[in-house]
Structure 1
Amino acid sequence: MLSQEKIARINELAHRSKTTGLTEQEEEEQHELRNEYLSKFRSSFKSQLQSVKVVDPKGDDVTPNTLEKAKRNNSNFRQ
């Protein structure tokens, strides 16, 4: 995940954009930080999804085939 400093900077820029506005350089920085945050979030979320096992009330494994295939291939999960 992102460092606490970067998250604090994202929040600072978001607050300033709502109040006083941002310079072009700050807007570019905000865009880059948001993209980095989203990239890391998506990567982490995909990893969590690949570790999920779906079980029905009877206790049978009903994990979707797409997820099972992604686990076997250790590739990016897409549905």
Structure 2
Amino acid sequence: MTKELIARINELARKQRTTGLTAAEKEEQQRLRTAYLADIRAQVKGMLDRVEIVDVVEEEQTVRRGISGKYKRR
């Protein structure tokens, strides 16, 4: 996500609070917000995928999400 796109998201948010948005601007705002959230989620997932847990006997383990949605040691 570039600084220009983030600036546009903020610009639309300010305009929404002051004068309101047209239908086209609302659609653009939603599209930009969706892209922003997808980018953030990808960054967080990338960080979590690189997390390694070292236990008392110093065995390296990675963290993986199971079917239940909770993180498990692997």
Structure 1 length-normalised TM:
0.71
Q: How does 1:1-79 map to 2 (within 5 A)?
A: 2-56=1-55, 58=56, 60-61=58-59, 63=61, 67=64, 79=70
Partners of 2:34 and 2:48 in 1: CA distance: 21
Partners of 2:14 and 2:24 in 1: CA distance: 16
Partners of 1:21 and 1:52 in 2: CA distance: 43
Q: Identity, % of aligned pairs?
A: 41
Partners of 1:28 and 1:20 in 2: CA distance: 16
Partners of 2:15 and 2:57 in 1: CA distance: 51
Question: Which has a greater percent of strand?
Answer: 2
RMSD between aligned residues: 2.5
Q: How far apart are residue 46 of structure 1 and its match? A: 0.3
Q: Which runs of 5+ in 1 are unaligned?
A: 71-77
Question: Which has a greater percent of helix?
Answer: 1
Query: Structure 1 runs of 4+ off > 6 angstroms?
Result: none
Q: Which runs of 5+ in 2 are unaligned?
A: none
